């Protein structure tokens, strides 16, 4: 992971509980310090966790206010984010490349959690999930209804096609001439699209 996205790739560790998040944070800090790595690993969890006679909070472990955790993770030295429920949904970090999962995921929770990796970045070519808790068939089953529903909705809303066109144009996937030829081809854009797929 260290050399990916121009050496800027980040990872999320999805733990099964707040207690596990605390212990992962402590172990990861120790590991990085012992090996002299210049990286840091903030943790995200709610409330206070008691462990071994000690009290732990997110802000106390990170050394910064809880509201600043996500923003701090953007800094280059922060490469790992340890989470317990927080940041599994609605978290947008394009440099997030790898996810380590040690928590059972199912249904929409699986989709929302793993989808944290799908934010685009110009240098991001792939992603990786190392899952210690879920079977591949379970994850596939969780994604299937949403994947099918998305395809159906996108196929019936022309505005989504223009949105996709704008995104693809930014990456140089096609030219304006390509779009013009598709729009003016006999049989309409659908027939032209089928033709292009058939000749790839």
The number of residues in the chain equals 200
Whose tokens are 């009290």? That residue is 55
What's the pLDDT at 147?
Answer: 67
28 vs 98: CA distance, rounded Å: 16
Say which residues have a Cβ less than 8 Å from residue 96's Cβ, sequence separation at least 6. Answer: 10, 11, 12, 116, 117, 119
186-200 tens-digit pLDDT = 544 444 333 333 333
87-136 tens-digit pLDDT = 888 888 999 999 999 999 988 889 889 989 988 888 888 889 999 999 98
Q: How does residue 3 score in pLDDT terms, banded at 50, 70 and 90?
A: confident
38 has a pLDDT exceeding 80: yes
Question: Candidates 3.40.50.300, 3.40.640.10, 3.90.1010.10, 3.90.550.10; correct CATH number of 5-141?
Answer: 3.40.50.300
169 vs 158: CA distance, rounded Å: 17
> What rounded mean pLDDT belongs to the chain?
83
How many CB atoms are closer than 10 A to CB 5?
Answer: 18
User: Quick one: tokens of 135?
Assistant: 């079977």
- Residue that wins the pLDDT comparison between 32 and 191: 32
What's the pLDDT at 195?
Answer: 36
Question: Contact at 8 Å (CB) between 120 and 151?
Answer: no
Provide the residue ranges of all domains of the chain, joining segments of one domain with +.
Answer: 5-141, 157-199
Question: Contact at 8 Å (CB) between 101 and 14?
Answer: yes
């Amino acid at each position: 992971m260290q050399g990916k996205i121009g050496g800027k790739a980040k990872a999320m560790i999805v733990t099964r509980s707040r207690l596990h998040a605390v212990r992962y944070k402590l172990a990861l800090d120790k590991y990085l310090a012992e090996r002299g790595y210049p990286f840091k690993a903030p943790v995200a969890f709610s409330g206070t966790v008691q462990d071994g006679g000690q009290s732990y909070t997110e802000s106390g472990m990170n050394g910064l206010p809880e509201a600043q955790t996500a923003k701090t993770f953007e800094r280059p030295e922060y490469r790992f984010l340890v989470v317990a429920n927080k940041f599994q949904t609605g978290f947008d970090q394009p440099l997030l490349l790898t996810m380590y999962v040690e928590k059972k995921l199912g249904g929409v929770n699986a989709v929302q959690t793993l989808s944290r990796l799908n934010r685009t970045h110009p240098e991001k070519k792939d992603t990786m999930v190392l899952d210690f808790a879920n079977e591949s068939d379970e994850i596939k089953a969780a994604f299937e209804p949403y994947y099918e529903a998305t395809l159906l909705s996108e196929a019936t809303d022309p505005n989504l096609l223009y949105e996709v066109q704008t995104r693809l144009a930014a990456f140089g996937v096609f030219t304006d001439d390509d779009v013009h030829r598709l729009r003016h081809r006999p049989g309409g854009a659908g027939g032209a699209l089928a033709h292009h797929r058939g000749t790839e």
